[in-house]
Amino acid sequence: MKSESKIIDLLNNKSSVKQEVYRLTKEHFGVFQQVLEEKVNRLRDCITNKAVTISYEESGDFDAKLKFSGDTLLFNMHTNIFDFESSHKIHKTKYIKDDKMRSFCGLINVYNFLSDSLKYNRLNDAGFLIARIFINKDGHFFVEGEDELGFLYNDFVKQKITRDAISAIINSSMLFSLNFDLQIPKFNDVKVVSVNEVMSIDNRHKIKTAKRLGFKFSNETDD
């Protein structure tokens, strides 16, 4: 009976909190979808060169694609709820120490792909995770990512997710992608090509294409 009491306690507390975090994250992901669509409509009217295209597409409740020129940003909401390892900096804050349940977060990933990789179904092409957005039961959030995505939105204790914050995150993601240019790989890295790759090139380009060969996030190190 004692073990059943523990189970009931966990279901009534931890599981209930996780359900609330999921509900809140899904609600805010819906705002992401709304803001993305509004932003596309607004920016489209300001682009003078009609060859530069911008569009928005939803793929269900958990995915949204923003296409602009040669780039695509994929926003994906994970359906699970996560905690952080005990050594993570958020566990050192009074905010979390006062309520351990505040460390459970929903997750929205932001990926950058070449639009042609998706258009031509180039399955070997690589995209990059440029941001991870974490949201807790209080609506507090922080972002892990590159450039300004990694330092503008990291005050988990004080920051609350709002429509304006969501718009700013989208803007930062677009700016990073636009400044993250496709670079030609070194000759020696691509000079060996298999017969299968050459025979399969056509429009699907089996030879891997990515924005930058050997690109690393700032927190990655060489082995």
Q: Determine the average pLDDT of the residues in 128-137.
A: 96
Burial class for 203, CB neighbours closer than 10 Å (0-12, 13-18, 19+) = exposed
User: Phi and psi (nearest 5°) for 129?
Assistant: -75, 115
Q: Write phi, then psi, for 206 (nearest 5 degrees).
A: -70, -20
| Residue-wise pLDDT tens digits, 56-94 | 999 889 999 999 989 999 999 999 999 999 999 999 999
**Nearest CA-CA partner of 212 in 184, 174, 189, 188:** 184
Work out the average pLDDT over 38-48.
94
- According to the model, what pLDDT value does residue 219 have? 45
DSSP assignment letter at 152: S
Prediction pTM value: 0.82
Contact 18, 24 (CB under 8 A): no
* Cα gap 96→220, rounded to integer Å: 27
Nearest 5 degrees, angle CA 162-CA 74-CA 182? 120
CA-CA distances (angstroms) from residue 178 to 20, 33, 187, 193?
Answer: 35, 20, 25, 30
Average pLDDT taken over every residue of the chain: 86
Instruction: Characterise 69 by phi-psi region: left (phi > 0), alpha (psi -120 to 50), beta (else).
Output: left
Where does the pLDDT of residue 198 fall: very low under 50, low under 70, confident under 90, or very high at 90 and above?
low
If you average pLDDT over residues 199-211, what whole number do you get? Answer: 55
Task: Tell which residue, 154, 157, 139, has the closest CA to residue 97.
Answer: 157
Please answer whether residues 61 and 45 qualify as being in contact, where contact means their C-beta atoms are separated by less than 8 angstroms.
no
**pLDDT tens digits, residue range 135-180?**
999 999 999 998 899 899 999 999 999 999 999 999 999 999 998 8
Q: How far, in Å, CA of 101 to CA of 89, rounded?
A: 15
Sort strands 54-58 and 128-135 into parallel, antiparallel or unpaired: unpaired
